[in-house]
Structure 1
Amino acid sequence: MTRNDWCSIALASAMLTGCFRPPDATPTPDPFTPGPEARSPFIDPRFYEGNVTQEVAPPPISGGTLQLHDGWAIAADADRDRIVVVDYRRARAVHAEVALPPGAEPGRVVTDGAGRAHVVLRGIGEIYSFDPERPRDGERRAVCPMPRGIAHDGARDLLHVACRGGEVVSLPAAGGPSVREMRVEGGDLRDVVVDGDTLLVTRFRNAELLRVSVEGAVMDRVAPSVVTDPFNGFIDSTGVWREAVFQPSVAWRTISMPSGDVAMVHQRASDTELQLAPGAYYATGFCDGSIVQSAVTVFTDHGASRAPNLGTSSLPVDLAVSTDETEIAVVNAGNQSGESAVAIYPLAALETRVEDQGCMFPNETVAGVQNPVAVAYGEGGLLVVQQREPARLVMIERTTGQRFEVDLGGESRFDTGHTIFHANASRGTACASCHPEGGEDGRTWLFAGLGPRRTPAMHGDVTETAPFHWDGDLPDLRALSEVVFTGRMSGPRLSGTQVNALGAWLDELPAPVVTPRDAIAVQRGRELFFGAAECGTCHSGAMLTNNTTVDVGTGGAFQVPSLVGASQRLPVMHDGCATTMRERFDPSCGGDAHGATQRLDDAQIGDLVAYLETL
């Protein structure tokens, strides 16, 4: 598909989904009754053919699950808890499959100097190391509760694993237990890249790139650039008019380039004031108008590039750079149907430092690829794309255009709720754009007439926490889908069974796993929480909420949020006023109306924080 074809698709989608739609004077149909059809060209077509709810819910998409090495393609299949090794150079067929424990959720893959492969098992806190010739004879090793990224340090023959909780664990590549563990304060770690004697690690939600010493100290930090939105502005809290900007967020994937530079595919989010109206999430006028857009930033010794936003990109979960560094491929997991699901750009255009480049469309896209999750370049210009559903590798010789596919087999994992959550609803925005991996983006959005509102997380039995939104104005998931997915996101109207399927999938999202650091402090904090501090008065039950709307001295009456995984979704409170759990107890984030915490001394606050960090 060419650039002009892409622009036509974007325009057609905008017309279908409300950008140019005349006002509709007819009453809004009940969301449990199919309304006027507005088909998105990006959603998996099976969405329209009937509802499917898997007995075991497929995990949220994380991307970046493919590695090529010496003729082997190693694909981590999180949907089916397996690793598939493909001989793509000789047999062009599946060589072997490794069945993993249920819930293993294999993710990032790396190979070492001896040709061994190492796969992060996100769901069970381990890595699996093996020889691709004999993948079933591998070794499972414990690393941390929530491992995410992995890199091989060739100089020391070590593996470095970055974990969501802030741990960076080092293990011998040849086998055996960990030899070092350090902790990066603030956590939320994603990918790791070896750079001499230091490590570069990313934070997932704010897209920071940290340079970390072997002791775990942050030596330097840099983030992708902001980009001015020339079409929007607003009056800030001080009464001053300012231009809106797109700020970096959600670093889906970060890799080392052949040259030694580092490339990150991430989102940018607009800080413009959002209206509470249909189509409000396409209010920027920039690219396809979405308030969440995609970008690729290249980090060199001179800093971060100022690359443009990428038009009609949705959920950019992976990227790959060709071996000659002439082009870059981006996986758009939100574009499930195959329309612009894998986009290719000239690398030179993404490395520019020219100010505010605006919007860029790809030179071409890979046709006939559905539900992609990963991409990699091999020798001789080979491009390999991993599909999650159906499970398949699509291989394209970039020099000749020759294409061949390898079916990875396995049962279908299509799930209606999973599809809705990850789908590009119309012009770039998916539920997962603001709730990556079923969590949240770390952002506090500004809504007209409401003020700042922090993105809530979706982990745990979220349907048990209704009513929804901070103001408690949406009584159930039916109302939420109508107002947000169909309304503000301009997505297709959901039937009752589709809403139920979405709820069933959301309720299976696992809560973050946290390891207590001080069990005695945690116990003291628990006693305070349900005792003298009176937190348990409202934060009760399995989800630690009584689902009521209460004024706790923070400027109005707001929903009592679930505290499940609270320490993993900082900042907290409706306006994000607490960037740490301890800051929650600052008077500016609520006084004695928010529990009886003002009478606690500093040590007691520390104990209470220790307990909150285990939830």
Structure 2
Amino acid sequence: MRRALAIALWLGACGTPRAEPDAGTTILEDASQSIDAPVELRAIAGASRYALVGEDVVLDGSGSTGAIRYQWSPGGGLATGPISEDPVLRVRYDVPGREQAVLTVWDASGRRRSASIVISVTRAATHVPRQSSSIAVVGEHLVAVVSPDSDELVIARWSDDATLEVVRRASVCDEPRTLSPWRGRIVVACTGDVVSVVEIESGLAQELALPRGSRPFGVVGTDDSSWVSLQATGMLAEITLEGANPRLARSIRAIDDARGVSVLPDGRIAVTRWRSPDDHGEIAAVDVTSGDVETWTLASDPQPSSDTEVGGVPSYLEQLLVSPDATIAFVPSLQAAIGEGLFVTEGARPLTFETTMRAVISFLDPSTGTEDVERRRQLDNRGFTHAGVLSSRGDYLFALTRGTRTVERLDVLETRLAGSIQDVGLAPNGLALSPDDRFLFVDAYLSREIVMYDVRDFDTEPAALARARIPTTEPLSEMLLRGKILFNDSRDPRLSSDGYIACAHCHLDGLDDHRVWDFTDRGEGLRNTTSLLGFPTTGAIHWTANFDEVQDFEHDIRGPFRGAGLMDDASFHTGTRDTTLGDRKAGISGDLDALAAYVASLATFAPSPFRNSDGSLPEAAQRGRALFEASTTGCTDCHADDRTTDSGFDERGSPRLHDVGTLGAGSGQRLGATLSGLDTPALHGVWSTAPYLHDGSAATLREVLRERNAGDAHGHTSSLSDAEIDDLVAYLRCLDGRRD
């Protein structure tokens, strides 16, 4: 009777029932329910969840209320299910993806409601991702990080109630850069030519010396061995245990400028070439059984630059991240738009703050190395993607942008950005993720903290849950730390616009980026980036001596970087201070002085790997030294004294510039006037700074002395035999600041 009355009342109000009744009205289905308490028609599809490819997935709408008929549209290219009294549909998805499964329900009157859930379909994990990083999960609720400035390894413990506390500190080798868990230990690679092996439980550390000048950087552990990249020599070193003691088992030639190391699904070790050649990026896949090496490439992007994308070559390759299903590898990097500029490309516009470089993520097949160029992802308003970590299912990549201090979440299944965490700390250096994908750990290098986030939900930006101090005490003075922060940062609007450019983006670690930039619009020309190791803080600076103090970089900050400046406007425009070589800027801005102090601290050259193990000169280099110092070659006429340069200004304030026969159409000007010559660069560290000359036109030192020395304008070398040229090159490769 009640059911009949309810239907009659509904018909009286609405007339003939429609196929799609208005929302908010529900027909009572159960005679036991009162007309005063109608059952609301609600479609309840359940919770979004994960599924594996080929796995039975049960779509269950039985939690819906007021419904008598159900229909599922499962997505993923699968057929829509029938309209049925059964609320359940069983399906299998054939490919990975985020599939929206839509449930539609009807009540007895024909009213309809819908709801949807997302089924995230992934492949089964077949690979355990392992790659070098500054931070890593190393045990049950344990995360470890290296501290390069204080030479420490720090281990912290996290809890599920979001606490984080340091439980162990260990002193390790000089300049630790990356770490890897290995057989109950942590292996730490240090650029000071040493590897430290630290027991997780006790903190006991053992050191293993590696070849002089080899500069270990990346390390990754496998079941039997740890593999360490030797950046200066391009070798991949195998570390094994002899009893409880680490030993160097062997070395395999891998790739120039070897940096990051990763384990590939087939057991090979991938080694990234840190600074790319001009036409492509490179990764070596090393078969550690046979010693065979396959070189993979990342394509140079030919597109012209715009305010949203740039062309160019991916460089600063430091990590290769392999997905748990072993089907995709990711390479975070910086894309350098070296094909842009008024001279190098006819009709091109000048390089600007937003067209010089951009953060990118490249995708490739980890079995063949084939790049999926179309999927390469550029990050707007980001200059450099430095590191990353994958979720346990491989459906999300968390990518770290160093200068802008963000973590970007990339939805791998849909190749789209799916959230961001802002300001995660100063010069962040690495990421780690808890095995359950709940907690993300950021190595906030210059904030000196491990920062912990809960990343299960990105509906709102995750907030920092806990922090743990990294170094025991601050290893740098207040001024040096401040200068180092400014050098590495691009988020500060005083330094650059939109977060693209930081000093470190061309001079990471104080080194050169191996790039030649077209600065024609600045009144310069093609300019080869120089290393800052041993860089002068006063005197002639740059190839054309257009600066005479580091504080003059205020002009680059305010100009090409489009920053507001580190000096206030009134001070900048006082006297001739707003011109380079004008009134002194030192002592006016504390931040500019701090930046200069940091650059001055980069005074030590990396040891040359071309010297003997005791640091002495090999016989060929000794013969080359005699040639270098001989009056007949004239090398020391310009490359004089211990500094190997006569760079500077004379008593009238004129720079000592030399025309060595390398000026050409692309050489540009000096301060808007004719370029008569070039400042003499120091030769220390020249073994690692190819290409050579102001325009990068010599790929090797031999080319400097032969092909690019017409008329003996750059030293009298035409009369030297090939053997003597080899000896001279051998000596130049040994110059590393050491006094012989």
Query: TM-score category by the smaller chain?
Result: 0.7 to 0.9
Indicate whether 1:550 and 2:658 are aligned: yes
Q: 1:517 to 1:256 in 2, by over 3 A?
A: farther
**Superposition pairs for residues 466-545 of structure 1, below 5 Å?**
466-479=539-552, 481-495=553-567, 496=588, 497-509=590-602, 510-516=604-610, 519-531=618-630, 532-545=632-645
Structure 2: how far apart are the matches of 1:561 and 1:117? Answer: 41
**TM-score if structure 2 supplies the norm length?**
0.65
CA deviations 1:192-215 (Å, max 9, x no partner) are 223446432111111411234557
Q: 1:411 to 1:222 in 2, by over 3 A?
A: same
Structure 1: how far apart are the matches of 2:329 and 2:319? Answer: 11
SS in 1 for 2:467: strand
**TM-score if structure 1 supplies the norm length?**
0.77
Q: 1:551 to 1:305 in 2, by over 3 A?
A: same
Indicate whether 1:426 and 2:497 are aligned: yes
Counterpart for residue 411 of structure 1? 473
Q: Please point out which of 122, 143, 157 is paired with 1:73.
A: 143
Could you tell me how far 1:225 is from its partner in structure 2?
4.4
CA deviations 1:508-529 (Å, max 9, x no partner) are 2132221335611111111111
Q: 1:421 to 1:390 in 2, by over 3 A?
A: closer
Give the aligned residue type for 2:606. Answer: P
Indicate whether 1:332 and 2:407 are aligned: no
Could you tell me how far 1:395 is from its partner in structure 2?
2.1
SS in 2 for 1:442: coil
Structure 2: how far apart are the matches of 1:292 and 1:320? Answer: 23
SS in 2 for 1:559: coil
Give the aligned residue type for 2:456. Answer: T
Counterpart for residue 388 of structure 1? 445
SS in 2 for 1:374: strand
Q: 1:472 to 1:402 in 2, by over 3 A?
A: closer
Structure 2: how far apart are the matches of 1:379 and 1:282? Answer: 48
Structure 1: how far apart are the matches of 2:423 and 2:489? Answer: 17
CA deviations 1:340-367 (Å, max 9, x no partner) are x2222212355xxxxxxxxx7x432224
Structure 2: how far apart are the matches of 1:248 and 1:256? Answer: 18
Q: Is the CA contact (8 Å cut-off) linking 1:143 and 1:178 kept in structure 2?
A: yes
Counterpart for residue 507 of structure 2? 435
Q: Please point out which of 526, 530, 534 is paired with 1:460.
A: 534
Counterpart for residue 151 of structure 1? 220
Q: 1:564 to 1:608 in 2, by over 3 A?
A: same
Q: 1:590 to 1:119 in 2, by over 3 A?
A: farther
Counterpart for residue 32 of structure 2? none
Q: Is the CA contact (8 Å cut-off) linking 1:224 and 1:305 kept in structure 2?
A: no
Bigger drift between 419-428 and 257-266 goes to 257-266
Bigger drift between 90-99 and 501-510 goes to 90-99
Structure 2: how far apart are the matches of 1:331 and 1:599? Answer: 53
Counterpart for residue 108 of structure 1? 178
Displaced runs of 4+ in structure 1, greater than 6 A?
Answer: none
Could you tell me how far 1:328 is from its partner in structure 2?
1.2
Give the aligned residue type for 1:398. Answer: V
Could you tell me how far 1:79 is from its partner in structure 2?
2.7
Structure 2: how far apart are the matches of 1:513 and 1:216? Answer: 27
Identical counterparts, % of pairs: 24
Give the aligned residue type for 2:679. Answer: Q
Could you tell me how far 1:244 is from its partner in structure 2?
8.0
Q: 1:342 to 1:590 in 2, by over 3 A?
A: farther
Q: Is the CA contact (8 Å cut-off) linking 1:533 and 1:595 kept in structure 2?
A: yes
**Superposition pairs for residues 98-177 of structure 1, below 5 Å?**
98-100=170-172, 104-112=174-182, 114-122=183-191, 124-135=192-203, 137-144=204-211, 145=213, 146-154=215-223, 156-173=224-241, 175-177=245-247
Give the aligned residue type for 2:240. Answer: P
Indicate whether 1:182 and 2:252 are aligned: yes
Q: 1:386 to 1:282 in 2, by over 3 A?
A: farther
Give the aligned residue type for 2:312. Answer: F
SS in 1 for 2:150: coil
CA deviations 1:75-118 (Å, max 9, x no partner) are 111132211111224773211111346xx121111112x23211
Indicate whether 1:211 and 2:285 are aligned: yes
Structure 2: how far apart are the matches of 1:230 and 1:94? Answer: 46
CA deviations 1:34-55 (Å, max 9, x no partner) are xxxxxxxxxxxxxxxxxxxxxx
Q: Is the CA contact (8 Å cut-off) linking 2:692 and 2:698 kept in structure 1?
A: yes
* Structure 1: gaps (5+ residues): 1-62, 233-242, 351-359
Q: Is the CA contact (8 Å cut-off) linking 1:268 and 1:292 kept in structure 2?
A: yes
Structure 1: how far apart are the matches of 2:557 and 2:258? Answer: 29
Structure 2: how far apart are the matches of 1:192 and 1:489? Answer: 33
Q: 1:219 to 1:387 in 2, by over 3 A?
A: closer
Could you tell me how far 1:561 is from its partner in structure 2?
1.0
Give the aligned residue type for 1:558. Answer: L
SS in 2 for 1:588: coil
Q: 1:108 to 1:158 in 2, by over 3 A?
A: closer
Give the aligned residue type for 2:513. Answer: D
Counterpart for residue 96 of structure 1? 168
Structure 2: how far apart are the matches of 1:458 and 1:467? Answer: 14
**Superposition pairs for residues 26-45 of structure 1, below 5 Å?**
none
Indicate whether 1:314 and 2:368 are aligned: no
Structure 1: how far apart are the matches of 2:325 and 2:710? Answer: 50
Q: What's the C-alpha RMSD, in Å, of the aligned pairs?
A: 2.8
Could you tell me how far 1:67 is from its partner in structure 2?
0.7
Structure 1: how far apart are the matches of 2:350 and 2:698? Answer: 28
Give the aligned residue type for 1:411. Answer: T
CA deviations 1:363-408 (Å, max 9, x no partner) are 3222452212211122111211122243222222322668531322
SS in 1 for 2:169: strand
Q: Is the CA contact (8 Å cut-off) linking 1:244 and 1:271 kept in structure 2?
A: no
Q: How many residues align?
A: 514
Q: 1:491 to 1:160 in 2, by over 3 A?
A: same
Give the aligned residue type for 1:528. Answer: L
Give the aligned residue type for 1:363. Answer: A
Structure 2: how far apart are the matches of 1:461 and 1:403? Answer: 38
Q: Comparing both chains, which one has the higher relative contact order based on Cα–Cα distances under 8 Å and sequence gaps of 6 or more?
A: 1
Q: 1:168 to 1:517 in 2, by over 3 A?
A: farther
Could you tell me how far 1:461 is from its partner in structure 2?
3.7
* Structure 2: gaps (5+ residues): 1-131, 491-495, 568-587, 613-617, 648-655, 664-675, 736-740
SS in 1 for 2:530: coil
Structure 1: how far apart are the matches of 2:486 and 2:693? Answer: 27
Counterpart for residue 268 of structure 1? 335
Counterpart for residue 295 of structure 2? 220
Structure 2: how far apart are the matches of 1:217 and 1:259? Answer: 25
SS in 1 for 2:304: strand
Structure 1: how far apart are the matches of 2:263 and 2:197? Answer: 19
Counterpart for residue 304 of structure 1? 371
CA deviations 1:272-307 (Å, max 9, x no partner) are 54479xxxx99568xx82411111112213611321
Question: Rg larger in 1 or in 2?
Answer: 2
Bigger drift between 394-403 and 443-452 goes to 394-403
SS in 2 for 1:208: strand
Q: 1:216 to 1:494 in 2, by over 3 A?
A: farther
Give the aligned residue type for 2:431. Answer: V
SS in 2 for 1:507: helix
Q: 1:517 to 1:460 in 2, by over 3 A?
A: closer
